[in-house]
Amino acid sequence: MNMKRNLLFAFVLLFFLSAQAKEGMWVPTLLDKYNMDEMQQMGFKLTAEDIYSINQNSMKDAVVIFGKGCTGELISNEGLLLTNHHCGLSVIQSHSSIEHDYLTDGFWAMSKEEELPNPDLTAKFLQEMIDVTDSVMLGTDDLKGEKLLDKIQDNIFSIQIAASDSGKLEAVVKPLFHGNQYFLYTYKVYRDVRLVGAPPSAIGKFGGDTDNWMWPRHTGDFSIFRVYADKNNEPAGYSEDNVPYQPKKFFPISIGGIKPDDFIMIMGYPGSTDQYLPSHGVDLIVNQSNPDKVKIRTKKLEVLEKHMNADPEVRIKYASKYARTSNSWKRWQGEIKGLKRMNAIERKQDFEEKFKVWYSSNDSLQQRYGNVLSNFEKFYMDLYAFNRAYNYYEEAIFGGTDIFKLAAMFPRRTKAWGKLGESHRTYFSEALLESISDHFEDYDLETDEEVFVELLRLFHNDLSRSFLPEGFIETMQKFDNEKLRTRIYRKSVLANEEKLSEMVRKLNMKNLKKIHKDPVFKLYNELRGHYMRNVDVVYHGVKGELEKVQQLYMEGIQSMMEDEKLYPDANFTLRVAYGKVEGYKPRDAVSYKHFTTLKGIMKKDDPTVYDYNVPQKLRDLYKEKDYGTYQEEDYMPVAFIASVHTTGGNSGSPAINADGELVGLNFDRCWEGTMSDIMFDPDQCRNIMLDVRYVLFIIDKFAGAGYLIDEMQLVD
């Protein structure tokens, strides 16, 4: 029996380690130590210094954080920046109207003078990343609990202040391996980033939510921006005097194409993963968190879709909101299926048994790690009931309806407002007026009203009474859906931009009290207060305890596997991932090729469906086979897949070939592999990339913006 058990454990560990060779989001400064030999064996022809260096120009100088959650890359010596269409969607939407519907028609600046400024958009260039673990932990040896956390935060703050160079740089310290290591990242932030070009949604968002996360894929998911700087090439706010940024490095673009087994590297800013989550955490995701969140968003998406299909103006206003809502909604469903298919809970349990055998072999290990697994069980049991309430509040109340988001902008207590000085009140009122204006630009009363009613009803029906305020329960039992509309939503000043703005311009104590008596604000305030007292404090308290256990567990895993390569979970810092171009077999008797073509777009063409209505000019180009120099043999390539480990935040990341040239633009993952944030399956996990030749074809032949191609360095 012991021999069988040991063989099982050996198999589990072997599987865990073998998967590491095909997965990973690696820290660039450690590539030479951990990855370069393997990368070069797979065909990579350059060095670790070519990827990341502080002594010479390298690829890291051409890869940026685009906006708040995407990656972009420089493709010319005049600051031209390439990223995904869905990363630029909110910017494209902000410039769109019924008269100038850039979402539907696309936008192309035919000169630098026609490029559109975006005051809130940034491009962040990494200057350096440094291991600062010793500095973060300085003076913490004898501290525990809150004193330990406070000291760590004080140290981090001091490190960031010192590294910011008096505000010239943005400095951030982030934990790796669940707080067992810390890195400092410094960025130069450019704040004048202008929209240069975007294809129509029928190209840039072709297939819409139906095709999202799916393969085969035919989405031309790209948009183009330009970074501007002052005359000294330094960051500056928008000014007509600014000039195109001169990058240290930009990517040459290969038009030679790709083929099966080609080396592919993705460089970018993956958002978050949970590769070292215990079995209890996976169980919570599969059996509660994801199903609950999917249910709530399904209801919201049904309402949004109905109103967007009925009114073109609503479609423009809610395009970005719908995309943000549906993206995770579909991913969570794929994640559930993938984790179940992989028996992820059981496999995590098997690894935990191996962990137990390891620490049981030594008294000191037993003393340090002996309570880890039992503590996981205890704290996850405590979390289970509160996790549902937390998700329902976050999804249905705070993140569900526009009018509650507006209510959240106002002070919840009049006493706090009364203590502010006149200058602070004026500043707050002016900022609030600007936020109100932004809010109503993308707001439709009838749409949000129905979302409000439907989500409140779902929230009331699904949650245990113990997590609901008594006043709210009475309201929901007394009012049917129509009365929720007429007696709460329609009576609220928060639904009337003109009246609300007038009150905020004169936001004295009297007007603030009026807002506090507003039916929507009263409801929001009641729900928010109950949540803070009865859900949030417990939920985050338990999560805090779990993170302490997770940190110790991670320390133990690193010790147990000290001779093996381990990569830290993603945390929206620069990472490198690599693999090869290859298709996959998602299910029995189904086999997918590694690429798609323009012919597949034409087969999906449907003028009656917004997301599949191919622009006439693209139809004509296909009919005439007018592909320029961008075709492969006799067809026009569109997208391709590879076995590279990516996640959210990698949207817009450059797909780089063995010679360090740009061959594609990462934009998605295959649905069967969306569980890769938690468990990577080398047979099913594929990242989806737009072939750069299709990008060039659309810019040149479709948009007629060939002058942009002239800026680029094309390599055959």
For residues 616 and 666, membership in a common domain is answered with: yes
For residues 327 and 224, membership in a common domain is answered with: no
Domain stops at, among 559, 585, 606: 559
For residues 116 and 211, membership in a common domain is answered with: yes
Does residue 178 form part of some domain?
no
Does residue 176 form part of some domain?
no
User: For residue 350, what are the domain limits?
Assistant: 279-559
Q: Cis omega (within 30 of 0) on the bond before 216?
A: yes
* Per-residue pLDDT, 9: 45
For residues 22 and 116, membership in a common domain is answered with: yes
Does residue 179 form part of some domain?
no
Rounded Cα distance, 485 and 492, in Å: 10
For residues 531 and 470, membership in a common domain is answered with: yes
Question: The CATH number of the domain where 678 resides is what?
Answer: 2.40.10.120
Does residue 168 form part of some domain?
no
The token pair that represents 176 in the structure block:
């790796």
Domain stops at, among 559, 582, 600: 559
Rounded Cα distance, 693 and 702, in Å: 13
- Helix (H) or strand (E) holding 545, with range, is helix 537-560
606-642 burial by CB neighbour count: b if 16+ within 10 A, else e?
eeeebbbbbbeebeebbeeeebeebbbeebbbbbbbb
Backbone region of residue 627 per phi and psi (left: phi > 0; alpha: psi in -120 to 50; beta: other values): alpha
> Count of alpha carbons within 13 Å of 589, Cβ hemisphere only?
0
Does residue 169 form part of some domain?
no
For residues 464 and 491, membership in a common domain is answered with: yes
Does residue 164 form part of some domain?
no
* Per-residue pLDDT, 610: 87
Rounded Cα distance, 161 and 525, in Å: 37
* Per-residue pLDDT, 17: 42
The identity of residue 324, as a single letter, is R
CB atoms under 10 Å from CB of 110, counted, come to 14
* Per-residue pLDDT, 551: 97
Rounded Cα distance, 591 and 584, in Å: 6
Does residue 151 form part of some domain?
no
Rounded Cα distance, 63 and 81, in Å: 9
> SS3 for 232?
coil
Rg (CA), the chain: 26
For residues 689 and 641, membership in a common domain is answered with: yes
499-508 burial by CB neighbour count: b if 16+ within 10 A, else e?
ebeebbeebe
The token pair that represents 531 in the structure block:
């949540």
For residues 575 and 700, membership in a common domain is answered with: yes
pLDDT along the chain (716 residues), means of 10: 45 42 87 95 97 96 97 98 96 92 95 96 98 96 90 97 96 97 98 98 93 95 98 97 98 97 98 97 97 97 96 91 91 95 97 97 96 97 95 95 94 74 82 91 95 97 95 95 95 94 88 92 95 95 96 98 94 97 93 97 94 96 96 95 96 98 97 94 96 98 97 95
Confirm if 172 and 184 have CB atoms less than 8 A apart.
yes
Q: Which of 448, 485, 689 is nearest to 579 (CA)?
A: 689
DSSP for residue 266: E
For residues 545 and 633, membership in a common domain is answered with: no
Which residues are the active-site residues? 86, 221, 651
* Per-residue pLDDT, 632: 94
For residues 692 and 621, membership in a common domain is answered with: yes
**Cβ contacts of residue 25 below 8 Å, gap of 6+?**
270, 273, 567, 568, 570, 575, 576, 577, 645, 646, 647
Does residue 513 form part of some domain?
yes
For the chain, the domain total comes to 2
* Per-residue pLDDT, 412: 77
Show the CA angle centred on residue 433, arms to residues 472 and 397, nearest 5°: 25
Alpha carbon 681 to chain centroid, angstroms: 21
Domain stops at, among 496, 528, 559: 559
For residues 65 and 209, membership in a common domain is answered with: yes
Strand pairing report for 714-715 and 253-254 = parallel
Residue with tokens 């507006």: 406
For residues 431 and 477, membership in a common domain is answered with: yes
* Per-residue pLDDT, 12: 45
Q: Which of 290, 393, 392, 372 is nearest to 545 (CA)?
A: 372
